[in-house]
Amino acid sequence: MNKKVLIISTSPRAGSNSELLACEFGRGAKDSGNEVEIVSLKDKGIRFCRGCFACQKTQRCVIRDDADLIEKKMEKAAADLNFEAAAEYRDRMIELKGHLAEIGKL
Q: What is the pLDDT of residue 30?
A: 94
Instruction: Provide the b/e sequence for 57-87 (b: ≥16 CB within 10 Å).
Output: eeeebebeebbeebbeebeebebeeebebbb
CATH architecture of 4-102: 3-Layer(aba) Sandwich (3.40)
Is the pTM above the cut of 0.85?
no
Examine the pLDDT at 3 and tell me if it is beyond 90: no
List the beta bridge partners of residue 9: 40, 85
The phi and psi torsions of 93 (rounded to 5 degrees) equal -75, 155
Residue 16's contacts (CB-CB under 8 Å, 6 or more residues apart) are 87
What are 69-85's pLDDT values in tens digits? 877 777 776 656 666 66
What are 51-71's pLDDT values in tens digits? 888 888 988 788 888 888 877
What share of the chain has pLDDT > 90, as a percent?
Answer: 11
76 vs 8: CA distance, rounded Å: 15
